[in-house]
Amino acid sequence: MTLGPIMLDLQGAELDAEERELLRHPQVGGVILFSRNYENREQLKRLVTDIHNLRSPHLLVAVDHEGGRVQRFRDEFTVLPPCRFYGDIYDQDKKRARRLAQHAGWLMAAELRSAGVDFSFAPVLDVDTGVSDVIGDRGFHQRPEAVADLAHAWMSGMKQAGMSATGKHFPGHGSVKADSHVGFPVDERSLADIRSFDLVAFERAIHYGLAAMMPAHVIYPQVDDRPAGFSRIWLQQILRGELGFEGVIFSDDLSMQAASVGGDIVERSHLAVEAGCDMVLVCNDRPAAVKLVDEFETEIQLASAARLVRMHGHGGHHWERLERMPEWQLARSALDPEFHLV
């Protein structure tokens, strides 16, 4: 069985009967976890193992684990600083900032891999212009060249730990005020302005080997009247055609308010897949998830399925072994001044 184009969420800390049935459906290919799905590391490991055991090849298990405001698992995990932490240091000491970003990417990925999680939707490649509250300190820096440099270091750390990186939110969410979770962001800038600013970090990340991309639920009317995640111009013509991106394209959550311009959940999913998304996310709306699995009809593209399989995590350590590794001790002590070995 190949991986299907739908990623769903779960209601609690273990799979219920309905979820087991949903996740076995051939149109499903992944699961995204949230804080409600986490009690402790051992419970998380059991949950991920249960999900992986449902299918072969196993379903992708993902999470948003950037650090700062967006880190779903905290107790018993290293609490990571927001990406702006590295950007602030970058202004004083670029080498140290890159080293810390690499430590953080490795630490985040290694700890998640110890529980079997395949990947985190990170890093954020949006440039923080001071306009967007939803981005804010989630962005590495206010200059795209610095974002690209720090993201490269973060991605290198993830790769060393056996995890692929996902850049978000293409082509850039940092210059609009509205939050796409609850509003309808519109960026009135020209394509030329976006190219010379926001796209710098995305293009460089692609050259650095970025494995996956998540487009923004933002409309850029001077380019297309559809949000980027529903736009063939952004995803096919610019991202794949001009920037040469060959990795996975994940939609952002199609339950978000800004995605509602695409119709009901089935219509939104068709628009996203037709625009070029390999996998669509539906979160925090179980009736919509059930409706989508029941009604979504699309032929699974072999190219998409092949790209998705490459997002499976590699390697991994038991937590006890991880804690004894010099790399873990160094990364933890570098990012947490209060960390001391017992």
As annotated, the active-site residues are 181, 252
70-71 and 65-67 strand pairing: antiparallel
Cα–Cα distance measured from residue 226 to residue 206, given in angstroms and rounded to the nearest whole number: 24
Token digits of residue 295: 């009604």
Angle, nearest 10°, between helix axes 94-114 and 326-335? 120
Quick one: which H or E segment has residue 17? Answer: helix 17-23
Quick one: which H or E segment has residue 70? Answer: strand 70-71
Residue 194: CB atoms within 10 Å: 20
Give the residues across from 59 on adjacent strands.
none
Cα–Cα distance measured from residue 25 to residue 251, given in angstroms and rounded to the nearest whole number: 19
Residue among 108, 24, 26, 28 nearest 63 (CA): 108
Distances (CA, A) of 158 to 68, 106, 113, 209: 17, 5, 10, 12
Give the residues across from 280 on adjacent strands.
6
Cis peptide bond prior to 171, omega within 30° of 0: yes
Q: Would you give the distance in Å from CA 123 to the centre of its chain?
A: 7
